Chain A
């Protein structure tokens, strides 16, 4: 029986599956959407943090994903899992953002003084590389290092890697989220893993050495 056909009595929203809750959202039961936001807010936020490496931006995208999920709730079909659908929305948001950033590289404007005359200065635009992960700071703790290593995985492989390794999605779910074929999903996960290992392994080795020396 569809949730909408249930008698209009007090529903225990917490006991319903995501898909049942979405059907209720489609029927206009907004409380059901509250429950879904509660269930997925931290998971989605963590996923986006891993992808973007910026908490403010991740929170912004997570909010945007939930808003889109609500506004387009009528397009949701129960053949797909809600989590897969939500991740798809979020991944597409990030993909679009990456496309925009690629088109317009980050620049900062600087006033360049010229000694030849009073008004000889000019505005110069230089690339803003302050947030690029390849600008190594000092050695940081393991979590920061791992996060940085995730950011170093090329954008092409990162979503598949994060969805598999951190969110534990199956190949099929990742294919649904990313719109890729199963074989492509698998190869992207593995390539992402290889990139990740290349960054993290030397650090882990140093970490082992330090521990060995202490003992």
Chain B
């Protein structure tokens, strides 16, 4: 038998995959071949030394760190970061997202209602009232601005919901509604009116952004509480 074959048999034998006949064949070769015998002895000693290496132990905080990282990963999943997909939380997350969105909408509506009631934007309302006639007609509009007059000619009769500057939705009803409509806030040119409109919209956006931040903070807190409850 060649030495390479003997070494191959040795490896089979080392892995307990050599039958009795193979073992005997290997033993016969080793008895005759000193270099293979040396190879086997060195290999056995080396591999035994490798197997005798002690098992190592993780540091004390290992399990805590695993939990912490699981929590972080779950948070990422819930924030919908790219490349991350939840498994059993998927259904729960979608339910939670719907609930959170509904809650956010209610809170936002309430906040806006409260702001309206506290008269935060009274100056504009007063200005509107001062600049419009009690009848609610558009008679003070500049005669030259035909297009604008045509736009506002419908104001008195409109009774639906309309996007306005201070309130997201204002139901306009008859003369009272016209008096509060920002579209009547036209003291000067059309550009002037649009600039004021723009200013009011900017302020509203800023206010809504602050509210969104507040609501996001509340959502995060809620998420963390739920995750803490569901952690291993």
Contacts and interface: CB of A to CB of B under 8 A. Distances in A.
Interface stretch (A65-73, A81-89, A117-125, A127-135): A65-73
A147 B59 CA distance: 20
Contacts of B51: 165-166
B120 interface: no
A92 to B, nearest CB: 16
Contacts of B55: 42-43, 46
Contact of B15 (A38, A164, A200): A164
Nearest to A146: B49
Interface residues of A, number: 46
Interface in B177-214: none
A81 B27 CA distance: 36
Contacts of B87: 26, 71-74
A175 interface: no
A193 B10 CA distance: 12
A164 B15 CA distance: 9
B62 A63 contact: yes
Contacts of A41: 58, 62-63
Given A62-B58, A193-B11, A200 B53 contact: no
B82 interface: no
Given A55-B56, A71-B73, A72-B87, A146 B50 contact: yes
Interface in B61-110: 62-63, 65-66, 69-70, 73-74, 77, 87-88
A35 to B, nearest CB: 10
11 contacts: A37-B63, A41-B63, A149-B50, A166-B51, A190-B11, A193-B43, A197-B46, A200-B49, A201-B46, A204-B42, A204-B46
